Chains A and B, each alone.
Chain A
Amino acid sequence: MSLVIDGLWWRYPTFSEKSSPWVLRGIDLEIEPGECFGITGPSGAGKTTLCRAMLGAIPYSSRLTPEQLPQHFRGTITAAGEPVTARTPATNRVGMVLQDPENQFLRMSLLHELGLGLQIQGLPTEEILQRAYASLCSVGLEQLWHGAAYLHPADLSGGEKQRVAIASFLAMRPQVLLLDEPTSDLDPPGKREVIETIARLRKDYQMTVVLVEQDPDILSAFCDRIALLNEGHIELVAPPHDFYAERALLERCGASVGELTSISWLTGYTYHARPPLTLEEGEIAFAGFVHTQAGQPEERSLHDAPFTDTGKGSSVARPDIAVSAGASGSRDTVKQEPIVTAADTWYNYEDGTVALQGVDLTLHRGEILALLGPNGSGKSTLAKILAGIYRPTRGRVLVQGQDLASRKVRARLPASVGYVFQNPDHQLFRRKVSDEVEYGLINLGIEPAQRRKAVNAALEVAGLTQYANEDPLFLGKGQRQRLAVAAVLAMGPEIVIVDEPTTGQDYNMVKGIMSLLRDLHRQGKTILVITHDMSLVAEHCQRVVTFRDGKRVFTGTPAELFQDEVTLNRAGLRPPPAAALSVRLRAKHPDLPFLLTVGQWVEALEPKKDE
């Protein structure tokens, strides 16, 4: 066995007399050599803590005395046949790649980053060079070798930094590699680069990989087995096809599941008595839809037995179908009045980077618009221009009829345009939740009585009323994100810009944030979303604008985008599975309707009641 965990219990030490709750509770796992083992679960389940335990950081870096240790740590962990001890990290038997590519790039040049672990091992220069080069080639970045001594972390993209992190561990030749949500903070091209690297690792090195992920598509594609961790317990360990068949358990624990799995659960169509995990399987599983739509009687194969829920009493419920444009056209009547117009907008950063090149954009009152594109394509720059943070270098930008070239107009803009940043920690300035919401109102010069009303209303909308007196820094990540939204909402903006609201969030947090944004939209707010989440775009957005290298390359509905392969390739995007399956089926059967979302698939696959 490559990794054996037996009866692992762990709780973090506190400075008070009161003990903290157990974070890991009786974990038992056996991972085989060469296996790719997935771990998933909601935020706070203990995934990162489990990884730290496997690395040997827990409990040894916690400085517990021998008397304190049994009260905080129980059980054993064995990696590559030897017990995990305080010395394990130094032996480099186990390597760990973290979620944030910035925090693990420890040196100021690529060459030194690759060689850091080997320097610590005390290897001679020639061997370090040799191994560093080989590992860089393994992750597909050999083109960076010639300038490696001069390449600064800022010169690398997020995906490249993650691959460099993997390479730096490969150079140390670990037997087990832990990857803690390595793709969460990356854009779609970055995600693909890292995923391809992991696939190469498995093929070339037969390395044992433990992959912590929220993305079910990645887990089902790469993992031999997946473990569901919830509240410190391992609830389930199974191969992907059995894992995603456990509907009741996955729903109860709030685990993310793929769109094809959701469609299967909700309609009963299956592939070999389980939810389909790939587009090929989906084609076969939902073949009944094709026959029905083509006018032929539905022929269900022996394999397509109705899905039997193995959980306890969960019913097949219709999904919460969000109102969206979809292929059938807009269900929401969006008022066509433009609230923002940007014409020939250019923006140059101080270092000379041209971030925007002649971008035109119109945002209509009451719509939800998505800005898409790889990192560095200009989406955030344009959004910050619309929020008054940047002044456009050239071009004309009007927000509610006012020209943003004027400094006074930009200074007053926060009252009408709210901006929620990706990381809530960047925008929490006070040590009390209610004070935080009030901060912007004080800056606007609002009277105290009015401020109190606005604060209470904003907290209620965000579902944070009971946390009004709490310290924001002690809230969970999802709660901090909601607080950031509340703080912006309290200022009463008509337009709300949200920068990557679902990045790094688990399924429940994503649901919560999107529910909040939908409520705001129903209240008449205009929402501009910067996102890499194509499912979110399909479910919620009425229109999308796609960027590449500072230029707008597409504007239209999500349905139009996901059927435009040229634009998708140009922008480095992939359609969500539901839309991708529909495109695939329509390639063979052009008269099939285009189905964008899980909801549309469920509607289409349900038996028609008037027949």
Chain B
Amino acid sequence: MLAFSGVSPGVARLYFLLTLPALLALFITWIVFNPVPGKVTLLQLPIYAGQLVIGLAPWQAILLVIVVGYFLWTRRLFLGIVVGIAIAFVFAQSVHLPELRIAQVAFFHPLALLVSDQGLLVAVTKTIGYAGMIIVSIALVMTARDVELIGALRQLHCPQAVIFFLSTVFRSLDLALSDYETIRQAQITRAIATRPRSFIRRLRDLASTAVPLVAIMIRRSAEIGDALLARGYTLGRPMADFYESSPWRLIDWGVAVLCLLLLYFALGPHPAVTTLL
């Protein structure tokens, strides 16, 4: 759809980068946190016994040594913590050394990773459902012009102030994206890419775009306010419809009925379609 829609490759890449990891994360989360017994158990692994153990263990010492050593060597923390946790985890699982237990506290309930055929089916169904929602949203955003979206709100009898506010937001977003692009270019000319940057440093560089972006948007909003005033706009003043809304057609009614039907299947007397299988 994206390839044939005429969308620019950069925008298409962005959509993939945002949606695919989100869907994958959703799938994994559903599997892990919603164990569903089925006919075939593919994986069963206790993860958490339902108790917190407070004490001293060799893996803690290993973690501390790795983190502190990495910091002293490179003056950085993040990678050291990640590597330290990974090594400490593997060590704790593979080498069983004596521990000193000080206390044991019951906390939450035991967790086990259970992957069954039924669980997989439910996770896939949920993920497909959300993916459908995302794809429909993307399709709507990419095929509907801003004026059409505003027109839809008008036909739904949204308050005039809300409609106009959203219309101004759409226009301002356009300007904000353009300003952001220039600000990132300005950062490049101030040598942010000259030396290798840690993840934290990259986040800080991203955060520092907030100062010029907010400053520019404040200046713009003052001028936009003047421009609105010059057109005679005041809050609460109704505006005539002008090529924004359109009369309902047969296809509009058809889609509305289909949506209501799907809503019925989702919330009506058959809440879980998968139980029909």
**For the complex, is B10 an interface residue (Cβ under 8 Å from A)?**
yes
Whether, in the assembled complex, A583 has its beta carbon less than 8 Å from a beta carbon of chain B, the answer is no
B184's nearest neighbour on chain A, judged by CB, is A389
Contact check, A103 vs B186: say whether CB atoms are below 8 A apart. Answer: no
Contact of B229 with A57 in the complex, beta carbons under 8 Å: yes
Q: Cβ of B230: which chain A residues have Cβ within 8 Å of it?
A: 55, 57, 89, 95-98, 104, 169
For B187, the chain A residues whose CB sits under 8 A away are 429
Bound-state Cα–Cα, A418 to B183, Å: 15
> How far apart are B66's CB and chain A's nearest CB, in angstroms?
27
On chain B, the residues within 8 Å of A295 by CB distance are: none
- Does A421 make an interface contact (CB < 8 A)? yes
Question: Is A125 touching B8 in the complex (CB atoms < 8 A)?
Answer: no
Using an 8 Å CB-CB cutoff, how does the interface string of B208-242 with A read, 1 for contact, 0 for none?
Answer: 11011001100110011111111111100111111
Per-residue interface assignment for chain A, residues 406 to 430, with 1 indicating a CB less than 8 Å from any chain B CB and 0 otherwise = 0000111011001101010111111
Report the Cα distance A115→B174, complex, angstroms: 20
A410 CA to B188 CA, complexed, in Å: 10
Does chain A have a CB within 8 A of B189? yes
Is the C-beta of A253 less than 8 angstroms from some C-beta in chain B? Answer: no
In this assembly, does A282 line the interface, its C-beta being within 8 Å of a C-beta of chain B? no
Q: A103-B227, A109-B147, A411-B194 are in contact. Are A426 and B239 (CB under 8 A)?
A: no
Is B117's CB within 8 Å of the partner chain A?
Answer: no
C-alpha spacing A112/B163, complex, angstroms: 14
Query: Chain B interface: which of A266-274, A361-369, A439-447?
Result: A439-447
Q: B260 at interface (Cβ–Cβ under 8 A)?
A: no
Q: Is the CB of B190 within 8 A of A351?
A: no
Give the total number of A-B pairs whose CB atoms are below 8 A apart: 185
- Cβ of A154 and Cβ of B174 under 8 Å apart? yes
Contact B9 A120 (CB under 8 A): no
Min Cβ gap B227→A in Å is 4
- With A and B bound together, what is the CA distance between A392 and B219 in angstroms? 34
Contact B211 A428 (CB under 8 A): yes
Q: Mark A348-363, 1 if CB is under 8 A from B, else 0.
A: 0011100000000000
Instruction: Give the shortest distance, in Å, between A37 (CB) and chain B (any CB).
Output: 18
Binds A, one of B15-23, B57-65, B93-101, B165-173: B165-173
Is A336 part of the contact surface with B, judged by Cβ < 8 Å? no
B220 and A103 within 8 A (CB): yes
Q: Is the CB of B189 within 8 A of A90?
A: no
A192-229 contacts to B, CB under 8 A, are none
Q: CA A16 – CA B241 in complex, angstroms?
A: 44
Alpha-carbon distance between A117 and B234 when the two chains are bound, in angstroms: 11
Q: Write out the residue numbers on chain B whose beta carbons fall within 8 Å of the beta carbon of A425.
A: 212, 215-216, 219
In the complex, chain A residues whose CB is within 8 Å of the CB of B243? 111-112, 115, 125, 149
**A411's contact among B8, B193, B220, B242, by CB below 8 Å, is which?**
B193
- Point out which of B8, B187, B240 has the most chain A C-beta atoms below 10 A from its C-beta: B240
Distance to closest chain B CB from A406 (angstroms): 13
Chain A residue numbers with a CB within 8 Å of B193 are 410-411
CB distance from B14 to the nearest CB of A (A): 11
B238 touches A427 (CB 8 A): no
Residue B175, interface by CB 8 Å: yes
Q: Is B185 an interface residue (CB 8 A)?
A: yes
Asked if A105 lies at the interface with its beta carbon under 8 angstroms from chain B, I say yes
Residues of A within 8 A of B250 (CB): none
Q: Residue B191 at the A interface, CB < 8 A?
A: yes
Cβ of A440 and Cβ of B191 under 8 Å apart?
yes
* Distance in angstroms between the alpha carbons of A193 and B185 in the assembled complex: 31
| Cβ-defined contact, A122 with B190, below 8 A | no
Residues from chain B with Cβ under 8 Å of A115 in the complex: 242-243
Chain A: minimal CB distance from B124 (Å):
35
Q: Is A431 an interface residue (CB 8 A)?
A: yes
- The interface residues of chain B lying within 8 Å CB-to-CB of A120 are 231-233, 237, 239
Tell me if B195 counts as interface (CB < 8 A to partner A): yes
Which of B147, B187, B190 is most buried by chain A, counting CB atoms within 10 A of its CB?
B190
B232 pairs with A439, CB closer than 8 A: no
Q: Is residue B192 contacting chain A, with contact meaning CB distance below 8 A?
A: yes
Chain A contacts with B in 341-391, Cβ cutoff 8 A: 350-352, 384, 387-389
Least distance between B143 CB and chain A CB atoms (Å): 14
Which residues of chain B are within 8 angstroms of A487 by Cβ–Cβ distance?
190
Q: Across the interface, do B223 and A491 meet the contact criterion of CB distance under 8 Å?
A: no
**Are A106 and B211 CB-contacts (below 8 A) given A55-B229, A128-B242, A149-B243?**
no
- The distance in angstroms between the C-alpha atoms of A57 and B231, with both chains bound, is 11
A414 touches B174 (CB 8 A): no
A173 to B171, CA, bound (A): 25
Q: Are A428 and B215 closer than 8 Å at their CB atoms?
A: yes
Q: Do B188 and A350 touch (CB < 8 A)?
A: no
Q: Point out the residues of chain B lying under 8 angstroms from A91, CB to CB.
A: 232
New contact pairs (6) apart from A419-B189, A440-B190, CB-CB < 8 Å: A52-B226, A108-B147, A112-B243, A153-B174, A421-B182, A488-B190
Chain A interfacial positions (CB closer than 8 Å to B): 52, 55-57, 61, 89-92, 95-98, 100, 102-109, 111-112, 115-125, 128, 149-150, 153-154, 168-169, 172, 350-352, 384, 387-389, 410-412, 414-415, 418-419, 421, 423, 425-431, 439-440, 443-445, 473, 487-488, 491
Nearest 5 pairs of A and B residues by beta carbon: A104-B227, A427-B186, A443-B191, A103-B223, A414-B191
A-B pairs with beta carbons under 8 Å apart, 9 shown: A56-B229, A90-B237, A95-B230, A106-B228, A107-B171, A117-B232, A149-B243, A153-B174, A429-B212
